[in-house]
């Protein structure tokens, strides 16, 4: 049975985390994304003007799926589209011999401009894979039958390299016990329900945070508008229309954000919520917590995930998420 581990290297401000992946004879850095289900890469089919500074997948090692195509738009309105190949994909020693690899023929500017990332490796449920006319499986779903345990884990860190594992839980990566919660995969996401929250040392847990997804591909923590408002009231922040979100002082006094999941409280340090100066050198930071307005549910992105050890587990039949303090 297979198992393995791969580094997750943070970009500036932990905006995304990139991991080395071998596809055929190409070595690329991909953004592992539990919020989508396509494995796509810059390729020899990508216009040269759109792929400056990127490693590219050389599709000559693959078998083209004739007449297949893909097209994806992400929550932040970035996107890409192209053709599909079957090729060997290796992640941390775990091998998928015939993985659907989506070669980009067009890519939005936010991906072209981010030269650290050579594409995405989707880890949401294969039910939202965009390949047509026949939907394809994610890397995890492809290798799942061969894994020692049908799960992968995510250990992201603030400003340091973390890791993803496939097929095993690294018990040295967390403290205390793991709290498991049921996952509703009906929308293709790792969706769970979060409970009460509190700000700083207040123990007055307030209302329920509600339906949330665990999304490594989203940088920030998007919460109900009332929760975000309550946080920044205590953090001395404000909603800044010009910045398009909440900002707060970068002075190191941001309070922690505490949230109950499965009856266990997890702490997001205030230092993670003073996310980044709004402009280089500024004493005003963009907030790591923002309102989920227009999204319809909460997104527990990297600001939350780097505070915990997360287990994405389908080994019990029904999918579940495990969280532990780290
Ligand atoms: O697209 C999503 N996550 N992944 C990525 N974002 C940007 C590049 C990759 C996403 C998924 C669900 C919801 Br709700 C909002 C956003």
Catalytic annotation on 215?
yes
pLDDT in tens, 31-64: 999 999 999 999 999 999 999 999 999 999 999 9
**Average pLDDT, integer, range 108-120:** 98
DSSP symbol at 22? E
At 235, is the pLDDT very low, low, confident or very high (cuts 50, 70, 90)? very high
Residue 202, pLDDT above cutoff 90? no
283 Cβ contact partners less than 8 Å away, ≥ 6 residues apart: 249, 250, 251, 277
Instruction: Please name every residue paired with 260 in a beta bridge, in sequence order, or none if there are none.
Output: 265
d(Cα 189, Cα 109) in Å, to the nearest integer?
A: 25
Would the CB of 299 count as within 6 Å of ligand 1? yes
Would the CB of 36 count as within 6 Å of ligand 1? yes
- Phi-psi region for residue 184, left (φ > 0), alpha (ψ -120 to 50) or beta? beta
Mean of pLDDT over the chain: 98
Pocket test for ligand 1, best of 18, 72, 76 (most atoms within 8 A of CB): 76
Would the CB of 290 count as within 6 Å of ligand 1? no
Structure tokens at 301: 């992105």
- Is the CB of residue 291 less than 8 Å from the CB of residue 298? no
Dihedral sign computed on CA atoms, order 132, 34, 294, 181: positive
CB atoms closer than 10 angstroms to residue 63: 12
d(Cα 7, Cα 200) in Å, to the nearest integer?
A: 32
**Average pLDDT, integer, range 78-102:** 99
Burial tier of 153 (Cβ tally within 10 Å: 0-12, 13-18, 19+): buried
56 CA → ligand 1 middle, Å: 23
1 CA → ligand 1 middle, Å: 31
Catalytic annotation on 58?
no
Q: Is the ipTM of this complex over 0.90?
A: yes
**Average pLDDT, integer, range 144-166:** 98
**Average pLDDT, integer, range 104-108:** 98
Residue 205, pLDDT above cutoff 80? no
Longest pairwise C-alpha distance within the chain: 60
Pocket test for ligand 1, best of 15, 33, 34, 35 (most atoms within 8 A of CB): 35
């Amino acid at each position: 049975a297979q198992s393995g581990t791969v580094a997750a290297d943070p970009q500036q401000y932990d905006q995304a985390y990139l991991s080395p992946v071998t596809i055929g004879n190409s070595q690329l850095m991909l953004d592992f994304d539990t919020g989508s289900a396509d494995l796509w890469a810059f390729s020899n089919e990508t216009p040269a003007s759109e792929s400056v500074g990127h490693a590219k997948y050389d599709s000559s090692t693959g078998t083209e799926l004739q007449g297949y195509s893909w097209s994806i738009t992400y929550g932040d309105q970035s996107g890409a589209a192209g053709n599909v190949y079957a090729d060997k994909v290796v992640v941390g020693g775990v091998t998928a011999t015939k993985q659907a690899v989506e070669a980009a023929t067009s890519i939005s500017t936010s991906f072209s401009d981010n030269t650290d990332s050579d594409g995405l490796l989707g880890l949401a449920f294969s039910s939202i894979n965009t390949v047509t006319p026949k939907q394809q499986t994610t890397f995890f779903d492809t290798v799942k039958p061969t894994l020692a345990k049908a799960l992968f884990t995510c250990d992201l860190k603030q400003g340091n390299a973390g890791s993803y594992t496939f097929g095993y839980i690294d018990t040295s990566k967390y403290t205390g016990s793991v709290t498991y919660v049921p996952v509703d995969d009906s929308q293709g996401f790792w969706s769970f329900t979060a409970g009460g929250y509190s700000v700083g040392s207040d123990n007055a847990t307030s209302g329920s945070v509600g339906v949330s997804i665990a999304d490594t591909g989203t940088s920030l923590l998007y919460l109900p508008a009332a929760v975000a408002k309550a946080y920044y009231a205590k953090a001395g922040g404000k909603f800044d229309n010009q910045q398009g979100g909440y900002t707060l002082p970068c002075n190191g006094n941001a309070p922690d954000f505490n949230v109950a999941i499965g009856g266990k409280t997890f702490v997001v340090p205030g230092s993670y919520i003073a996310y980044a100066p709004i402009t280089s050198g500024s004493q005003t930071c963009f907030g790591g917590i923002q309102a989920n307005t227009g999204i319809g549910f909460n997104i527990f992105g990297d600001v939350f995930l780097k505070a915990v050890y997360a287990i994405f587990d389908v080994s019990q039949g029904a999918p579940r998420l495990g969280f532990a303090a780290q």
